[in-house]
A = this chain, B = another copy of it.
Amino acid sequence: MAKILRINTRTREYRFEELGQYAGLGGRALTSRVVATEVPASCHPLSAANKLVIAGGILAGSTAANSGRSSVGAKSPLTGGIKESNVGGQFAHKLPRLGLLAVILEDKPEAGAGFCNILVKQDSVEFQDCADIVGMDNYAAHELVKAKFGEKVVTAMIGPAGEQCLSAATIQFSDPEGRPSRSAGRGGMGAVMGSKKVKAVILDPDAKGAVAMADPEAFKVARKRWVDILMGHPVTSQGLPTYGTAILVNIINEAGALPTKNFRTGRFDGASKISGETMTETIKARKGQYKHGCHTGCVIQCSQVYNDKNGDYLTTGFEYETIWGFGANLLVDDLDDIAMMDRICDEKGMDTIELANTMAMAMEAGVVQWGDGKGVIELLKKVGSSDPLGRILGNGTAFTAQAFGVDRVPVVKKQALPAYDPRVVKGVGVTYSTTPMGADHTAGYAVCQNVLKVGGDVPSHGKAGQVEVSKNLQIATAAVDSLGLCLFVAFAVLDTADALSVVADMVTAATGKATSVDDIVNMGVNCLKDELAFNKAAGFTDKDDQLPDFFKNEPLPPHNLTWDFTAEEMQAAKV
């Protein structure tokens, strides 16, 4: 049975614990339960009382397709509420091979202490000096780590932004090629890790523990059907592998929901220059890779390797939300500039959605001009440096807006809005408003039913059905995140009759505990209840479940819709 590794970052004591009260949980259900149970809701997120939990899902380490996602949980320095930040990379694939389901970092060193790396081995933990990589950008730091531990080393590392405890700091997880390219992006988890003076958690590359299924034969049957389901749906078998998530640029622009110039219009003149189609053509011409998986076992392959004009590697995991945020929302239409911004965010360890909106604030304030991609690149490089401007920007959208007196601030619970205008895609607006995470499209991706017409058809412009669809998706997502599955399986699951029972069969076969579809749904419900309870204890109320007033007051061209839900009307979206 996999264990929890609990590490005190001040005393450097550690324990390998049985799951105990946490038995049966995994992924987000586990991180949120630990945070809700063990972290005082009133604590300062950077204080010793906060805990950082990194967990694989219930199916982690199995051969189930797309089951290698990691959950990172803590009280968020960005929102002040609970946070689960979901990330790909190799961590959750490797962790079970060390006999572990989760790692918990507790307490914090005394003021003035330096950073360390934590090497996790089969039955022990080593605190290692990391002076050679402190202050270094992530790719270069990772090269040094690889030189020491080998090409296959698996890491979760913070960059200069995390070292400075900035609220938009990520934890970067290494991908199958050993690049620090996968971001536990949202909510400042990197700042929490930075406050505990941990530069990187490194999983012993020599660990080779096997991960046993309770019923290997039954698991084999179920996982085969699972692959067939994923490979049988056009979104997961064709759209995403060919164009990545950037396939959405043209789709959302066509829907009039592509937020442009800080959410002033829903269409961007330069959309075709930054579309998924253009990206894939560019990748092909430069001999990059347009199909790529972020973790072992991924069959969807929505990631890619994007090379620069010279054919040299520039970035990977180049998402629609990043392209939207640094592109349309800033009036930047140069895909190479945007790719460079994505790379810098990975280098410094910063959330691209948060930083893209932050740059919009900087443009509102005149710090950089609308459309000035090169100017944005220079600003991004300041984060993590000694320049105070970097400390402003690295603390995100609401913070930068306050610094410069900007009053048009697209945040919910202080977290910046993603790439779908809620006035037009109202179901996702309900999710932005009501999820315990702060504005987060992944928490209940109603774009499916509103725009893509996957898993149902709820017209995006009206209010009817939006609360229900958001609620159901929020529950399903919490379950998916708890299993450790990639959210993108949802496209296929929503459209396939037996998909959920196949998932239940995989869980049953993997764990040996009979698990029904209802059990899986309840896992999602209970996870959300934990999160909502924490936020309530931290002082959140229904009043925090609102979009900023400007979405109510300013109609969005071309459809000229406004946001017309009250906070009260949306409460039913919460479990």
The residues in A between 385 and 406 inclusive whose CB is less than 8 angstroms from any CB of B are 387-389, 391-392, 395, 399, 402-406
Contact with B along A38-54 (1 / 0, CB 8 A): 00111111110100000
Interface assignment of A299: CB less than 8 Å from any CB of chain B? no
Question: In whole angstroms, how far apart are the Cα atoms of A384 and B165 in the complex?
Answer: 25
Question: In whole angstroms, how far apart are the Cα atoms of A479 and B148 in the complex?
Answer: 70
Q: Given the complex, which residues of B lie within 8 Å of A47, measured CB to CB?
A: 407-408, 549-550
A254 to chain B, nearest CB (A): 30
Interface assignment of A164: CB less than 8 Å from any CB of chain B? yes
Interface assignment of A436: CB less than 8 Å from any CB of chain B? no
Interface assignment of A496: CB less than 8 Å from any CB of chain B? no
Out of B46, B49, B407, name the residue touching A405 (CB < 8 Å). B46
Interface assignment of A195: CB less than 8 Å from any CB of chain B? yes
Q: Given the complex, which residues of B lie within 8 Å of A409, measured CB to CB?
A: 44
A386 to chain B, nearest CB (A): 11
Closest to A111 in B: B364
The residues in A between 315 and 342 inclusive whose CB is less than 8 angstroms from any CB of B are none
Q: Given the complex, which residues of B lie within 8 Å of A42, measured CB to CB?
A: 543, 546, 549
Q: Given the complex, which residues of B lie within 8 Å of A387, measured CB to CB?
A: 388
Question: In whole angstroms, how far apart are the Cα atoms of A389 and B539 in the complex?
Answer: 30
Interface assignment of A541: CB less than 8 Å from any CB of chain B? yes
Are B539 and A405 touching (Cβ within 8 A)?
A: no
Q: Given the complex, which residues of B lie within 8 Å of A541, measured CB to CB?
A: 539, 541
Are B402 and A44 touching (Cβ within 8 A)?
A: no
Closest to A169 in B: B405
Question: In whole angstroms, how far apart are the Cα atoms of A538 and B539 in the complex?
Answer: 12
Closest to A367 in B: B388
Question: In whole angstroms, how far apart are the Cα atoms of A409 and B45 in the complex?
Answer: 11
Q: How many copies, total?
A: 2
Interface assignment of A544: CB less than 8 Å from any CB of chain B? yes
Are B403 and A549 touching (Cβ within 8 A)?
A: no
Are A46 and B407 touching (Cβ within 8 A)?
A: yes
Closest to A46 in B: B407
A194 to chain B, nearest CB (A): 7
Are B404 and A391 touching (Cβ within 8 A)?
A: yes
Residues of chain A at interface, number, CB under 8 A: 43
Are A544 and B539 touching (Cβ within 8 A)?
A: yes
In this complex, which of A392, A395, A402, A548 has the most chain B Cβ atoms within 10 angstroms of its Cβ? A402
The residues in A between 27 and 72 inclusive whose CB is less than 8 angstroms from any CB of B are 40-47, 49
Q: Given the complex, which residues of B lie within 8 Å of A403, measured CB to CB?
A: 388, 391-392, 395, 399
Q: Given the complex, which residues of B lie within 8 Å of A392, measured CB to CB?
A: 388, 391-392, 403
Q: Given the complex, which residues of B lie within 8 Å of A404, measured CB to CB?
A: 164-165, 391
Interface assignment of A537: CB less than 8 Å from any CB of chain B? yes
Are A191 and B543 touching (Cβ within 8 A)?
A: no
Interface assignment of A77: CB less than 8 Å from any CB of chain B? yes
Question: In whole angstroms, how far apart are the Cα atoms of A77 and B296 in the complex?
Answer: 48
Are B391 and A549 touching (Cβ within 8 A)?
A: no
Q: Taking A391-B392, A549-B49 as contacts, is the C-beta distance between A407 and B167 under 8 angstroms?
A: no
Closest to A544 in B: B539
Out of B44, B406, B408, B546, name the residue touching A407 (CB < 8 Å). B44
Contact with B along A185-207 (1 / 0, CB 8 A): 00000010011000000000000
Interface assignment of A166: CB less than 8 Å from any CB of chain B? yes
Q: Given the complex, which residues of B lie within 8 Å of A543, measured CB to CB?
A: 41-42, 537-539
Closest to A402 in B: B395
Question: In whole angstroms, how far apart are the Cα atoms of A167 and B77 in the complex?
Answer: 20
Q: Given the complex, which residues of B lie within 8 Å of A164, measured CB to CB?
A: 404-405
Closest to A394 in B: B403
Question: In whole angstroms, how far apart are the Cα atoms of A96 and B387 in the complex?
Answer: 49
In this complex, which of A537, A543, A544, A550 has the most chain B Cβ atoms within 10 angstroms of its Cβ? A543
A496 to chain B, nearest CB (A): 41
Are B44 and A405 touching (Cβ within 8 A)?
A: no
In this complex, which of A49, A164, A388, A540 has the most chain B Cβ atoms within 10 angstroms of its Cβ? A388
Closest to A567 in B: B42
Q: Given the complex, which residues of B lie within 8 Å of A388, measured CB to CB?
A: 387-389, 391-392, 403
Q: Given the complex, which residues of B lie within 8 Å of A546, measured CB to CB?
A: 42
Q: Given the complex, which residues of B lie within 8 Å of A407, measured CB to CB?
A: 44-47, 195
Question: In whole angstroms, how far apart are the Cα atoms of A392 and B393 in the complex?
Answer: 11
Are B77 and A402 touching (Cβ within 8 A)?
A: yes
Question: In whole angstroms, how far apart are the Cα atoms of A77 and B404 in the complex?
Answer: 12
Question: In whole angstroms, how far apart are the Cα atoms of A405 and B160 in the complex?
Answer: 13
Question: In whole angstroms, how far apart are the Cα atoms of A402 and B212 in the complex?
Answer: 45
Q: Given the complex, which residues of B lie within 8 Å of A550, measured CB to CB?
A: 44, 47
Question: In whole angstroms, how far apart are the Cα atoms of A77 and B403 in the complex?
Answer: 11
Question: In whole angstroms, how far apart are the Cα atoms of A167 and B392 in the complex?
Answer: 14
Question: In whole angstroms, how far apart are the Cα atoms of A194 and B548 in the complex?
Answer: 21
The residues in A between 496 and 554 inclusive whose CB is less than 8 angstroms from any CB of B are 537-541, 543-544, 546, 548-550
Are B548 and A44 touching (Cβ within 8 A)?
A: yes
Out of B167, B194, B537, name the residue touching A402 (CB < 8 Å). B167
Beyond A44-B409, A46-B407, 5 additional contacts (C-beta under 8 Å) are A44-B407, A46-B406, A47-B550, A388-B392, A399-B402
13 examples of A-B residue contacts, CB within 8 angstroms? A41-B543, A42-B549, A164-B404, A165-B404, A194-B405, A387-B388, A388-B403, A391-B403, A392-B403, A395-B402, A395-B403, A539-B543, A539-B544
Q: Which 6 A-B pairs have the closest CB atoms?
A: A165-B405, A539-B543, A388-B389, A46-B407, A388-B388, A44-B407
